[in-house]
Amino acid sequence: MVTFSELLQKRRAIRDFEEREVPSKIIDEILQESTLAPSASNNQPCRFVVVQCRKTIKALSDESKANLLYDHAEKKIKLAPDYVTFLRNE
């Protein structure tokens, strides 16, 4: 069995994916096993939506990326006055 340390040392980011579908059986197994993780107060808040339509996946990806950048910029603008005030010499 792989130790936690070995798992961390061998991890990697994958950004190039093969154009093939993951079998439903494997997706089901992953989702079933992911629900075994503990949750706060055992409230088990996990809900999953499996999206297999490439067009829908692309639309969701594009929308989330656009919102991520928008949210980040908006947070910077909101925090800027406090940051400037904090640095002001009085």
pLDDT in tens, 24-81: 999 999 999 888 878 788 777 778 889 989 899 999 888 888 877 666 666 665 555 5
Residue 34 belongs to a domain: no
Count of H helices and E strands in the chain?
3, 0
CB 62 within 8 A of CB 74: no
Give the CA count within 13 Å in the CB-facing half-sphere of 51. Answer: 9
Q: b or e along 79-90 (b: 16 or more beta carbons within 10 Å of the residue's beta carbon)?
A: eeeeeeeeeeee
Residue 73 belongs to a domain: yes
Residue 78 belongs to a domain: yes
**Domain hosting residue 82, numbered range:** 49-90
Residue 85 belongs to a domain: yes
Residue 75 belongs to a domain: yes
Cα–Cα dist 2/8, whole Å: 10
Residue 53 belongs to a domain: yes
Residue 55 belongs to a domain: yes
Residue 29 belongs to a domain: no
> How many domains in the chain?
1
Q: Is the pTM of this model over 0.85?
A: no
